[in-house]
Amino acid sequence: MRHQKKGHKLGRGSSHRKATLASLSTALITHKRITTTLPKAKALRVFVEPLISRAKVDSTHNRRMVFRRVRDKYAVTELFAEVAEKVGDRPGGYTRVIRLGQRAGDAAEMAVIELVDYNDIRPEGSSSGGKKRRTRRGRGKSGGGSAKASVAAAVADVVDDAKEAAAAVAEKASDVAERAADVVEDVVDDAKEAIEDVVDKVEDVIEDIVDGDDDAEEEEEDSDDDKKK
């Protein structure tokens, strides 16, 4: 029988239980809030609150006593430097345990344990008595209205995007047409100039040929006159 033997065994031996609580206390001091099973959270609260009370007096002896339980020098440093200053005016009750319900799989009771001076917001899934209950009909109506509104907003966004895309395409098409017209005009001008140059050259050649024929006829006439003489 375990008469007058307090404490949570957690299904572990002495050394294993101490190592588990040391690891959980290190995580709690570092992150200020952790999620674990309900029995571990209750055991951790009993384990870590005396250490926080001891950390209010920063001395070598107290640091050694805390390190003896926590076994992590970085957690000890943060406990004495930051957490102790935060909870300096609080006489006790440094942690809060919030039930989260059963875990899927093994149906273990889960809970959040946190330092009350760091986390004042209740986590999602915790029980709260201030919420109003809604009927299924009311949920259906509100859900349908919100769904319709979201669909209408999505359709409006798609229409706006389509209009912007069409305007951008039209603008690009007009720019391309203007550039094409400029290119065609430049090509036509170049072609006209080239044709005019060719025509001038042909006329020059024809004139040269005509002048050559006239000179040849004059030479023949001169030679005939010389023969007659």
Mean pLDDT of 66-88: 92
pLDDT digits (tens, 9 = 90+) for 25-63: 999 999 999 999 999 999 999 999 999 999 999 999 999
Domains identified in the chain and CATH numbers? 14-115 (3.90.1030.10)
Higher per-residue pLDDT: 181 or 30: 30
The full 3-state SS of the chain, as one line of letters, equals: CCCCCCCCCCCCCHHHHHHHHHHHHHHHHHHCEEEEEHHHHHHHHHHHHHHHHHHCCCCHHHHHHHHHHHCCHHHHHHHHHHHHHHCCCCCCCCEEEEEEEECCCCCCEEEEEEECCCCCCCCCCCCCCCCCCCCHHHHHHHHHHHHHHHHHHHHHHHHHHHHHHHHHHHHHHHHHHHHHHHHHHHHHHHHHHHHHHHHHHHHHHHHHHHHHHHHHHHHHHHHHHHHHC
Higher per-residue pLDDT: 126 or 93: 93
pTM strictly above 0.85? no
Q: In this predicted structure, which of 18-22, 43-47, 121-125 has the lowest mean pLDDT?
A: 121-125
In the prediction, which pLDDT does 41 show? 94
Mean pLDDT of 10-32: 93
Q: In this predicted structure, which of 43-52, 135-144, 201-210 has the lowest mean pLDDT?
A: 135-144
